[in-house]
Structure 1
Amino acid sequence: MPLDEQAETILRGLNENFPRVETMTGAQARAATKAGRTAVADPEPVGEVRDREIPGGAGSIAVRIYSPAGNSAGPLPVVVFFHGGGFVICDLDSHDGFCRAMCNGVGAVVVSVDYRLAPESQWPAAADDAYAATCWVAQHAGEFGADPDRLLVAGDSSGGNLAAVAALMARDRQGPAVAGQLLMYPVIEPAFDTESYEEFAEDHFLTRAAMQWYWDQYLPTHREAAPAYAAPVRADDLAALPPAIVITAERDPLRYEGEKYAAALADAGVPVQLARVAGMFHGFLTIDAMTAAQTERRALWPRLRNLVAERVRTPSD
């Protein structure tokens, strides 16, 4: 499906102006992307936003906690969110608009996690931070009006990888009971010869060269046998993982691997809702100005509410 006029204009601007990260160091890439970011003068209001530090395995982790406005009859669902950026770039501010929209749209507390970035902190640093943050939120949910029994992990791109890995770790380590996982055009494994890479290697914002560079920063060694906590589709067993919503974009080099993971989850008996968004490119859902992003968000929020709906307790509970 061809791009609509607005998406074509935005994609052209991204192709022309987004830095060629593969020619830079990690620090240079972060500086360049921050320099190109436009500050939002009037962000979407939510009930409350709190920045704080939480303990992690290798020091403190910064998080930003968004709470919706209005009185609630009881604890709210909680979403632990991991931003994208190839494990190298982006931060709490880059995804602030999306987290605000999710907070209001779902009616949930959203905890956005500022995990350690590569190459200064290579795998498994980000994965360990993601799991540590998930555990902390489950343990402290009551402090900010959230229900640990309705905890969802979510992320876009590399953040989708971290959400999938956090769910996998929680299962393997008898950690928090994760109610569901939202994986938006997720990074799943370092394989660059798929059909979507062949078709969209260039001219669609995220390029094959950039993705190879991101993986070089995050997992520079033993990529041929990448461990499951870096490439979750390579886990020996995907059974008993939480229900998943997987969203892919038609014109995205990562489309194939996201859909491959959705199929692998379904084959393992995990309930999966897979949606491929026609005519869209990588990263579109977090572009607040895009009409297509707003349309897809409106469809996503009720699906997330259903995914973390309060379970009906039986007398045996």
Structure 2
Amino acid sequence: MTLDPQIAGLIDTLDSGFPPVETMTGAQARAAIRSRVVPNPNPEPVSHVADHRVDVTGGSIGIRVYRPTSNDPLPILVYAHGGGFVFCDLDSHDGLCRNLANLIPAVVISVDYRLAPEHRWPTAAEDIFAVTQWAAAHAAELGGDAARIAVGGDSAGGNLAAVTALMARDHGGPAVAAQLLLYPMIAADFDTASYRLFGRGFYNPRPALQWYWDQYVPALEDRQHPYASPLQADLKALPPAVVVLAGHDPLRDEGIYYADALIAAGVPTSRCSFDGGIHGFMTMPMLDIAHEARRQASRSLADVLRHG
């Protein structure tokens, strides 16, 4: 297994430039990450993009809705951005969400969920669940199909998507037709083989990943709850899953374990494995492998939603 050639040429720069978030407050980490984001002066066109507010327990949160051109009701993807539960926002994942909306095609609802450590577990997961409920109630006016709602996310957002699928099952709805999990944070286990192999020198190092969990779920006993670590859950009767795995990723093994556990529970699960990828590679548009992963994941999700 070898690193993608384009990533190999960038990995030292990426790794050395990753801020030592574990030495920062949440606000400092947020500012450091935000300073690295360069807005695309020519974002990918999508037929309609609009920002809205959704009421949640304790206030309201922002969402951004992307709708590609279509005369028919489209599937809906409620999307939770990555960022270790601590940083990133609607703007950091704008390019990915535009691309997914066009590729699937689907109405994509990107969620500006509340961030840790100011808002600890399970606030972020409850926010994604609330927006999923909102999407089901407003599907028609969004040009979406309430019978084809998917939840998705990358990294920490993958955790939130997986948990939302559990919440929807446990609370009797809304019906979720699929889950899209891009190199998800599934369990707070920092001693897997992939952590030992790739927890240093491959971007998003182990100290940062441990710090994310400390910000979001600081109590060790809470990390055993299925709504924090979905690998602890009874996974029966969950919607079909598309799981993207990056080969050079500390989180690779927990993604594999979760895909295996879903299959063992009888959940139809498609894996899109990119051995040359690193954690977070799908939000790096300079990489050919990122675009190939987006195409494969979108095709797999579209197939599930078509044949559900």
- TM-score per shorter chain, which class? over 0.9
Among candidates 149, 156, 159, match of residue 157 of structure 2: 159
**What are the within-5 Å matches in structure 2 for residues 154-193 of structure 1?**
154-193=152-191
Partner of 1:21: 21
Q: TM-score when scaled to structure 2?
A: 0.97
Partner of 1:68: 68
Structure 1 range deviating more: 294-303 or 158-167: 294-303
Which 4+ residue blocks in structure 1 deviate beyond 4 angstroms? none
Structure 1 regions of 5+ residues with no counterpart? 312-317
Partner of 1:137: 135
Contact 1:106 1:304 in 2 (8 A): yes
Q: Residue 5 of structure 1: CA displacement?
A: 2.8
Letter in 2 for 1:58: G
Partner of 1:5: 5
Q: Residue 143 of structure 1: CA displacement?
A: 1.0
Letter in 2 for 1:12: D
Q: Residue 274 of structure 1: CA displacement?
A: 1.7
Aligned length: 308
**What are the within-5 Å matches in structure 2 for residues 1-317 of structure 1?**
1-69=1-69, 71-72=70-71, 74-223=72-221, 226-235=224-233, 237-309=234-306
Contact 2:246 2:275 in 1 (8 A): yes
CA RMSD of aligned residues (A): 1.2
Structure 1 range deviating more: 54-63 or 5-14: 5-14
Letter in 2 for 1:17: G
Structure 2 regions of 5+ residues with no counterpart? none
The C-alpha deviation readout for 1:178-206, integer Å capped at 9, x for no partner, is 00001010000111001100111101101
CA distance in 1, matches of 2:204, 2:154: 13
Letter in 2 for 1:195: A
Contact 2:75 2:106 in 1 (8 A): yes
Contact 2:249 2:277 in 1 (8 A): yes
Q: Give SS of 1:84's match.
A: coil
Q: Residue 6 of structure 1: CA displacement?
A: 1.4
Partner of 1:315: none
CA distance in 2, matches of 1:270, 1:116: 30
Q: Give SS of 1:309's match.
A: helix
Q: Give SS of 1:135's match.
A: helix
Contact 1:190 1:223 in 2 (8 A): no
